[in-house]
Amino acid sequence: MTNKINIASLPEFDASHYLDSEVAIAEYLTAIIDDGDSALLAAALGDIARARGMSEIARSAGLTREALYKALRPNAHPRFDTISKVCKALGVKLNVEAI
């Protein structure tokens, strides 16, 4: 007989625990951008900001910590200038290539 797993008792997955290198961050962002969901991009940037330290990223981006949390929460739709500031603070840039 197998034991059933209670899904509600499992911890929520947090990608920020795995974003421990520039390579991991770049691969994560590339996969998110390929998906084409702007809200998912905001949430992914939030994951990266949490991995790096939300207060430090907010300060570097010229935003309050609260504004950063609000802009990068799941299902948020931040303005492009906010995404640009956060990317710069994270030390990453978004590139465009022909498909």
Average pLDDT per block of 10 residues along the chain, 99 residues long = 82 88 90 88 92 94 95 88 92 84
Treating both helix axes as pointing N-terminal to C-terminal, what angle do 80-90 and 54-61 enclose, rounded to 10 degrees? 120
With H, G, I as helix, E, B as strand and everything else as coil, classify residue 78: coil
pLDDT of res. 1:
58
Cα–Cα distance for residue pair 99/97, rounded to 1 Å: 6
Distances in whole angstroms, Cα of residue 92 to Cα of each of 13, 28, 63, 84: 24, 12, 17, 9
- What is d(CA 21, CA 5) in angstroms, rounded to the nearest whole number? 32
